[in-house]
Amino acid sequence: FSTDPRKPLAYRIPRTSQLFFLAHRNLFTTRFNMNLERCVPCEAKLSISFNLDGSNKHILREQTEPLGKVLARIANSLIKAQSKAKKSKPNKGKSETPTVLHVGGLKYKVGLNPPTFSISELPSSLMAGFPVCPKLEMEFGELKFSEFRWFKERSPNAPQDCWMEVGCERMFTPSNLDIGLKVMLKCTPGNGSRFGEPKELVSSGVVEAGPGTCSFDNRHMFTDESSLRVVSDNILADIYAQTDLSKTVLYSYCAPYTLEMDYRQNLIKKELSGYNADIVCLQEVDKGAFVDSLSPALDAFGLDGVFRIKERQHKGLATYFRRSKLKLLQQYDVMLSEALTTDPLHRELLEKVSTNPSLIEKIENWSTMLQVFRCNFGVSTCLTPRPAVVHKGLRCL
The span from the CA of 106 to the CA of 197, in Å, is 21
pLDDT band with cut points at 50, 70 and 90 for residue 179: very high
Is residue 143 pLDDT above 90, yes or no? yes
Is residue 89 pLDDT above 70, yes or no? no
Q: CB-based burial of residue 250 (10 Å sphere; 0-12 exposed, 13-18 middle, 19+ buried)?
A: middle
Is residue 4 pLDDT above 60, yes or no? no
Q: CB-based burial of residue 183 (10 Å sphere; 0-12 exposed, 13-18 middle, 19+ buried)?
A: buried
pLDDT band with cut points at 50, 70 and 90 for residue 21: very low
Lowest average pLDDT, out of 66-70, 168-172, 228-232, 267-271, goes to 66-70
The pLDDT, as a whole number, for residue 198 is 93
Residues 373-383 have a mean pLDDT of 60
Strand order in the sheet with 378-383: 328-335, 369-375, 378-383
Is residue 100 pLDDT above 70, yes or no? no
Q: Which domains does the chain have, with CATH numbers?
A: 9-112 (no CATH), 116-202 (2.60.40), 215-393 (3.60.10.10)
pLDDT, greater one: 75 or 63: 63
The pLDDT, as a whole number, for residue 311 is 79
Return the amino acid letter for 3.
T
Q: What is the pTM assigned to this prediction?
A: 0.68
